Every structure is written in structure tokens, then in C-alpha cells.
Chains A and B, each alone.
Chain A
Amino acid sequence: MTASTHTDTLLGDRTPGFAAHLARSGPVPWRGGPGRLVADLETAGLTGRGGAGFPAWRKAATALNGRDPVVVANGAEGEPLSHKDATLLRDNPHTVLDGLQLVAEAVDATQAYLYGRVSEAVLAERRHHDRVPVTIVAAPVRFVAGEESAVIAAIEGRRNPLPRFRTQPAPVSGVDGRPTVVHNVETLAHVAMIARHGPSWFRRTGTPDEPGTFLATVSGSVAAPGVYEVPMGIPLDELLAMAGGTGDAVLVGGFHGVWAPADPIPVSRAGLAPYGGSPGAGVVHALPANRCPLGFAAEVIRYLAAQTAGQCGPCLNGLPAIATTMAALAAGQAEARRLEWLTGLVTGRGACHHPDGTARFVRSTLTVYAAEVQAHQHGHCTKERA
């Protein structure tokens, strides 16, 4: 990616210091009172970039109704194939922190947190510019660490922060029962950009229904793996080509994602809906042409089963059973029907979406690679040759 002016790209010019940031972008563009930002975010149509794609303005609008809200920048990034949050926090942390301050101003919060890996020095150099003090909370290295209720548990100081059963959404009742707005760090960087350049600038790219850009982490059989800022709705084959990628099937949305062919499919919620997926947190992984997709899927699911928080029975028991069955399927020793039954059994039955995401990946694998499953049942693999 080449950036010219650097004030309108998420990763800036990769000079992360505060002095360079101030010179480039100017001070925090305060909106002068609670609520002013919410209308801009709604007009911009910004959705969460952490995976769920929830409209950003709604969280703030809900939290405004409560007392003493808390705002959180979520940079946990538990997905192993995703590096965009770490890259953003390393290369342009002050745009994220500007966004955090702006959301804090919008909901009249008195406390802000950054959940993830950022040094205290980054906060120290901007201390006199911030209106709300920011506390850094370390995120454990765990797939479900970034799940909203796990984030809240970590901020509350739980020693082993895990997803929790919730009866109310976080913007109503989160950290210690206070209204809590949790945004992915990339979402907050977009918030700062929208405050600086305006909602119509944000809508200049992307699709009318899903405007703006997103950070894609491209990996697998690509010549230049890395993080790319691209318009929402970019054709999947074009995105792959940007990174010098080859291969015919691409995993979109990470280990909780779906397979899609390397065709001109728009990488957007609408474009990926026919495949049962969404851009998620922007993970795009090209499977090497000579790699057995069922073997790959078995490895992914073994990892996901090991990443269960171990709290919810269906996930604790179901994911290892799915992992074993997928491995057997890859060895030509199990039937797809058993996997379909097991995935149905875990769906919707957990405190978080870990079982649902795992089930989504399994279903997509069985659908997209149905012919491969058949071949394996007859004792051979069409991709890997002995």
C-alpha cells in the first residue's frame, strides 16, 4: 500500500510517535459535548471492525442513557490469522487513542481502557491532551480473549477473565454494572478519521450499505502477506492479487469464517452472505493449491477445541468431538453426517459465540469441499499427492 498524504489512511505513515501524529493529524477534534459524535457515526454508517459488524453509533447512543459510562478499546485480537489490530497499535496508536477519547467525550465517560498491547510510554506522551485518563489492561493470549464479556471481566480485574453469561447488553450494563462501550481498536481509528474528515469523506469508498475501508490481514499462499487497508466490498480475487496470492479457495473471516472461491466476490456482509459468512475481523487466508483442505480444517478445529474456555458443557464436550471427527473425516474414516449432527448440537449453546463460529467453519468446509469429502471416503485426496 502506498500512502501519499498519510492523514487519510488508517496506518498513517508508520511514524507512531505523538509529535509526528500531532504534526500530521492535529489535536483531538473534540466535538464539544456529549452526543455530537453519535449523529456523525450514524450518517457515516460505521460498523464494528472486530468481527460482529454492529453499528458503532448504537453503542454510544445506548450508553448515553445510563450513568457513569466506561469506554474500552479492544485490541485483544485472539484470532491467530489476524494481525491488523497489533499492526494498527504499533504503527498508528494515537489515531486509535483519539477515537477512544472522542467516544469517551460522546458518552460523557470518566474512565477509558485500552485492552491489549500498548506501552505506557504511548499514553504518557499524550497525557496532557487527553481529557479522560486511559488505563492499559493486558489481554491474555487466548482465542476468546476479545469476546466482549471476557473483555469486561478482564477490566473488572478477574484473574481468569472468560466470557460470561449476560442478560443485558454491555452498553446497558458492563464493567461493574456501568454502561460500557467496547469498540475494536480499528473501529476507534475510523471514529477519529470520521471526526476529522466527516461522514461523507468516510462514505467516499466501500459500498452504499457498507461504507468505508477495513484492514485486511492477508496470509497463506501469498507472496506479500500482511495488513492492507482496502474498501469494504473489494472483490476477493483483487484483494488476493494485491498480496500476490494464488489458490482457488480462500478462508474469509478467520477460524470462525467460511470458504469462498477466489472470484470477484465482494468482501462485505452482503457479498459473503451467500457463503454463510462475513468479512469478520478482515482475515483472508489463501489455502495453498497442494494443501488438503480437510487436513487443514482438522488442524484448525483441533486448535479451536483447545481454545474452549471450558465453561459451557456443549462447547467443552462438543468441540473435541468435532475435532476428532474432522480428523477421522480427513483420514477417510468418518462420515460427514456425524459432523453435521455434532455442529447442530453445539450451535447457539454457549455463553459466547465460540461454538457457533466453530460450527460455521465446519459447515462451510463440508459444503465447499463436499467433493473432497467424497474422495477421502474412497481413500484418496485430490490435493495432496503422496
Chain B
Amino acid sequence: MTGHLRVDWTACDGRGLCAELLPELLDRDPWGYPVPRRPGPIDVPDHLVRHAEKAAALCPLLALRLGRPVRR
């Protein structure tokens, strides 16, 4: 199942672990906060779902959430 990543911006303080664990999808902005490599919603393809789960679980501030893809 594909997923969708969301950042709780009120919790994130830019420690950057997620961008290290998921470099395929996330980069860091000039202030260190995660920024998607491609603009728009962060859809997670099948082969990266396990990595995304790990990134979400390891965020020290629990600011990264993996959910179902956003319907648009």
C-alpha cells in the first residue's frame, strides 16, 4: 500500500533525521526543516513505505505522520 507523509509543523523543529532516513523523498530547507524533493503532497511509493514508517517512528518529536494518500 502506498502512503502519504505529513509533517506536524507545530511539532517539527528541524532536527533533520527524517531527511537522512528518507533522502529519496525529503531534503532540508535553509533552516533545516524537511522539504519534499518534489513540490506538493509527499506521496510514498510502495518500495519506500517501510523506510517512511521508520522515519516516522524515529522522529524524536513525533512530527512526521504516515497516512493514506490524500484524495484530491
Contacts and interface: CB of A to CB of B under 8 A. Distances in A.
Interface residues of B, number: 19
A167 interface: yes
B9 A351 contact: yes
A132 interface: no
B29 A311 contact: no
Given A167-B65, A344-B39, A348-B40, A313 B11 contact: no
A334 interface: no
A165 B8 contact: yes
Contact of B10 (A165, A345, A348): A165
Contact of A312 (B6, B9, B30, B35): B9
Residue in B30, B39, B65 with the greatest tally of chain A CB atoms within 10 Å: B30
Given A313-B14, A314-B33, A317-B31, A349 B7 contact: yes
Given A345-B35, A348-B40, A349-B35, A314 B9 contact: yes
A345 B10 CA distance: 17
Contacts of A162: 10
A269 interface: no
Interface residues of A, number: 19
A164 interface: yes
B31 A313 contact: yes
A349 B67 CA distance: 17
Nearest to A347: B39
A349 B6 CA distance: 10
A164 B11 CA distance: 10
A149 to B, nearest CB: 10
A226 to B, nearest CB: 37
Nearest to B41: A348
Contacts of B11: 165
Contacts of B24: none
Nearest to B40: A348
A313 B39 contact: no
Interface in B1-35: 6-14, 29-33, 35
Contacts of A312: 9-10, 12
B64 to A, nearest CB: 11
Contacts of A165: 8-11
29 contacts: A162-B10, A163-B10, A165-B10, A165-B11, A167-B6, A167-B65, A167-B67, A312-B10, A313-B12, A313-B14, A313-B31, A313-B32, A313-B33, A314-B9, A314-B29, A314-B31, A314-B35, A317-B31, A317-B33, A344-B39, A345-B35, A347-B39, A348-B40, A349-B9, A349-B35, A350-B9, A351-B8, A351-B9, A351-B10
Interface of A: 162-165, 167, 311-315, 317-318, 344-345, 347-351
Interface of B: 6-14, 29-33, 35, 39-40, 65, 67
